[in-house]
Amino acid sequence: MNKVAWHVLVALIAALLPAVTFGYTTILRSENQECYSELMKRDEHFSITYDVANKYPVDFMIMDPSNRVLYANSGTPNGEFGYKATMDGKFTYCFKAPKGNDLVVNFNPHSPEDEEFLKADDDKASPLEKEIRKLSHNVEDVIDHFQNMIARDNVRYESGTMTHSRIYTWSIVQSVALVGVGCWQIYYLTSIFKSRAIV
């Protein structure tokens, strides 16, 4: 296998790597904040995309190891962020729910290991490799969006199933109550007529 074919094979494998990347889902209670961290070395790249079910706004921020805010995005239902580390250490990203809403947040972090083959700024890469890496990054975005759509669909399905179950239960309760009231009325009227007949 010659060098060009080897590079193309590596780039194609890189294009398929995002397909096995799994997203995460968290439920944020009103005014609560959840944080996650990623250990990174200098010059490593990290990226994240996030999306909130039902398009509720969420506050997002990412901080470097010295707790300096690198990026903050307030009151938006989705977003994405990429960063090349300028120092070694633990980088932290947080989601915070505004007052009044519980949120379902779907997010897909891509650690340095995930993005090892996606660096399009490598001077040693051939033009073909760079284009394939760009294509791979676009495929990654599409997969992230697709995973978020699946998560939103699951939330809606569960919500619909729960609503249907509640309506069904309430209908049974109403039917039992209606039958009970009807039986009580029959008994009450029968007892009145019997008492009058006796008198």
Tens of pLDDT, residue by residue over 27-76, are 888 888 999 998 888 888 888 888 887 788 899 999 999 999 999 988 88
Q: How many CB atoms lie under 10 A from the CB of residue 29? A: 11
Q: How far is CA 141 from CA 12, 34, 145, 191, in A?
A: 16, 24, 6, 74
In the prediction, which pLDDT does 68 show?
92
The beta strands (E) that lie in the chain are given as 24-28, 33-40, 45-52, 58-63, 69-76, 78-84, 89-96, 103-110
180 pLDDT tier (thresholds 50, 70, 90): very high
The b/e string for 109-140 (b: 16+ C-beta within 10 A; e otherwise) is: bbbbebbebbbeeeeebeeebbebbeebbebb
**pTM, full prediction:** 0.55
In the prediction, which pLDDT does 125 show?
67
Tens of pLDDT, residue by residue over 4-19, are 444 444 444 444 444 3
Radius of gyration of the chain (CA): 29
User: How many whole angstroms from its chain centre is CA 195?
Assistant: 68
In the prediction, which pLDDT does 75 show?
87
Domains of the chain: 3-154 (2.60.120.380)
Q: Comparing 66-75, 99-108, 135-144, 181-190, which segment has the lowest mean pLDDT?
A: 135-144
Residues 14, 132 contacting (CB under 8 angstroms): yes
Q: Are strands 33-40 and 69-76 parallel, antiparallel or unpaired?
A: unpaired
What residues are paired with 58 via a beta bridge? 76
Element (H, E) at 85: none
DSSP 18: G
